[in-house]
Structure 1
Amino acid sequence: MGDQTSSASALSDVLNKAKPYLAIISLQFGYAGMYILSTICMKHGMSNFILATYRHVVATIVIAPFAFVLERKIRPKMTLPIFLRIVVLGFLEPVLDQNLYYLGMKFTTATYSSAFVNMLPAVTFIMAMIFRLEKINLKKIHSIAKVVGTAITVGGAMVMTLYKGPIIDFVKSGGATHHSTNTESADQHWVSGTIMLLGSIAGWSSFFILQSFTLKKYPAELSLTAWICFMGTVQDAGLSFIMVRDLSAWKIGFDSRLLAASYSGIVCSGIAYYVQGIVIWQRGPVFVTAFSPLCMIITAALGTVILAEKIHLGSILGAIIIVSGLYTVVWGKSKDVKTPELEEKSNGLQELPITDNGRSMNVVDGAANAVNIPDSKNTYSTRGT
């Protein structure tokens, strides 16, 4: 009987430890589908500004009722400083990141843009160091690995940007020949698209960092998600009316536009913000971004088959370098050892309420990982998009 109890306890521990990994890996499949659907509907003429607006309208409608019901007992009081942070969060991800990303994807390809997202962990890591969410000790090998891995990741992104190379045609298809008269224009768009993708990554990383700090003051993931989606809707709508003067562009029917807006709103905004928030609470913002290469692989496969996209050698080489650097960083983070100070701080996490199917539960763990949020007045730590 005792053996059965210990086995069940061990299995439960394994499942609890695996939950953050399974959650983030599942989101990568969700993001890959969003990249493909968004590319299709924008090729059919939908404005990226309007797509981002509809995306967050859907996300707000879906998430708000759950937030209102499930977190009514644990939702903190809204204050002006928290509200201002939410306004900034609504601008960083729903407005800045997504619109720059959609524009960058329009000027390049879905495969290239999803591969470029592999810079996200490196940029987030640099920002986390600046804001003291990550500790670096150059006397430790694992700390050196995190720094070197970040440098390798940036180098891989530079390879993708500066070296295009020949087309690698995995799926033989017609129309592979490009007219030389279009080459200069295509290259110009490629550079513009890359710059927009860089801006998108900077906005997304900033979102993760600010979200981590905001959750210390407002530890209600669903409610915060609903607020971010709502503020994103308001700001995106204002930007859309400025950028798109033709009111007929807002028309939407039962087509790829509705599918892209609904799918990205529910999966990649509503669910993603919430799940990433919980995982940031447990593992920190760098962990959340560590699985983006999987999304690149899925998107590349779907883009080649569904969209007949051409993959350039530079993209492949850059992606390989980025993945190598990324997992050097991940290895370094896996070797982070809790100091007695971090252990003491992490004890404060055990009483943090998170809703689960309407019930209140506690975050128990160890998993504050190497996240060290410098605020002695608060025992909260954690979460992250």
Structure 2
Amino acid sequence: MESWTQLFNHGKPFLAMILMQSSYAVMSIIAKYALNQGMSPHVLVAYRLAVAAVIITPFAIVLERKTRPKMTFNIFIKIMLISLLEPVLDHNFFYTGMKYTTATFTTAMCNILPALTFALACIVKLERVEIGKVRSQAKVAGTAVAVGGAMIMTLIKGPILELPWTKGRNHYLGQHGASGAHKQDMVMGALLLLAGCCCWACFVISQARILKSYPAKLSLTALICIMGTFEGTILAFAVEWRNPSVWLIGFDSKLIASLYGVRNSFDFRVHIR
């Protein structure tokens, strides 16, 4: 019989995934609340990336000072381009889509990411599909289930569930003409989230190639965060140039959502690993 230590060691990967998914849930709830309070999704992305860059860069400088490969112009351009895909475009699509929908809907739509990544990997020949083998059949079936689930979330509207703390508010909204605008927002949000997942999938495929020429994973994460901060800030200024007040935050949910960018650092680290 295995000891508790052995069981814990065997279960660490599963615990890590549970904790990461829990952090996604907390992130979505905090971000959605901040967006509901009027925070710009583009400003939120810029602040979160700045926090992530500040936190992870010192670790990259110290821990990989002896193993970091030489930076070349070609690698620099590649890192700049993938940082534009993820986190800049992906996160901007993600939070703008969340603003139109809900935290639950946004999290559910992100389940389409493995399907998109698998499809792109097949296109660029990083993944082989041999339909006669069980492993390939399972991948194809999983892809179909992921896409089907996302389509169900987008197109099918079920009955309104009344909870004790809603007290008929959902019924009121349903009777006063909000359903048409709500449907339009949900479709727009779904399309934005789909675009974000496409950017994310392209990033996952691209980083696999960049790691072959620049294997310093922590430094790569820091560089992506730093470049993403500059690119995200430029994008936010371009979109919100008429409304400079959106950059002001206090000791409220907007600040918490921005500081939660520390999770981004470890999120990038997990993806690159």
2:170 corresponds to which residue? 176
Match 1:253 to one of 241, 250, 253: 250
Over aligned residues, Cα RMSD in angstroms? 1.9
Work out whether residues 97 and 199 of structure 1, in 8 Å CA contact, stay in contact via their aligned partners in 2: yes
Q: 1:23 to 1:217 in 2, by over 3 A?
A: farther
Partner of 2:272: 277
Q: Give the match for residue 32 of structure 2.
A: 39
Match of residue 193 from structure 1: 189
List aligned pairs for 1:120-131, cutoff 5 A.
120-131=113-124
Structure 2 spans left out of the alignment, 5+ residues:
none
1:62-101 alignment runs, 5 A limit: 62-101=55-94
Structure-1 residue corresponding to 2:18: 25
Measure, in 1, the Cα distance between the counterparts of 2:60 and 2:148.
42
In the aligned structure 2, how far is the partner of 1:217 from the partner of 1:88? 15
Residue number in structure 2 paired with 1:238: 234
TM-score computed with the length of structure 1 as normaliser: 0.66
Distance 1:194 1:109 in 2: 10
Structure 1 pair 102/218, CA: closer, same or farther in 2 (3 Å)? Answer: same
State the identity %.
45
Higher-helix-fraction structure: 2
1:142 aligns with 2:138: no
Question: What is the CA deviation profile of residues 92-115 of structure 1, one whole-angstrom value per residue up to 9, with x for unaligned ones?
Answer: 112111111111111111111111
Mapped to 1, the partners of 2:176 and 2:159 lie a distance apart of 14
Return the offset for 1:18: 4.5
- The structure 2 residue matched to 1:206, chosen from 199, 202, 215, is 202
Letter in 1 for 2:23: G
Question: Contact 1:119 / 1:157 at 8 angstroms: preserved in 2?
Answer: yes
**Equivalent in the alignment of 1:221:** 217
- CA-to-aligned-CA distance 1:325-351 (integer Å, 9 cap, x gap): xxxxxxxxxxxxxxxxxxxxxxxxxxx
- In the superposition, the TM-score normalised over structure 2's length comes to 0.92
SS where residue 170 of structure 2 aligns?
Answer: coil
Which 4+ residue blocks in structure 1 deviate beyond 6 angstroms?
A: none
What CA deviation, in whole Å up to 9, does each residue of 1:156-213 have, x standing for no partner?
Answer: 2112211112123455522122134222111111111111011011011111111121
Structure 1 residue 274: deviation in Å? 1.1
Determine if contact 1:23/1:275 at 8 Å carries over to the other structure.
Answer: no
Partner secondary structure for residue 134 of structure 1: coil
SS of residue matched to 1:167 = coil
**Structure 1 unaligned spans of 5+:** 1-6, 279-385
Distance 1:52 1:187 in 2: 26
Distance (Å, rounded) in 2 between the aligned partners of 1:163 and 1:31: 24
Which structure has more relative contact order (CA 8 Å, sep 6+)? It is 2
User: In the alignment, which residue of structure 2 is the partner of 1:321?
Assistant: none
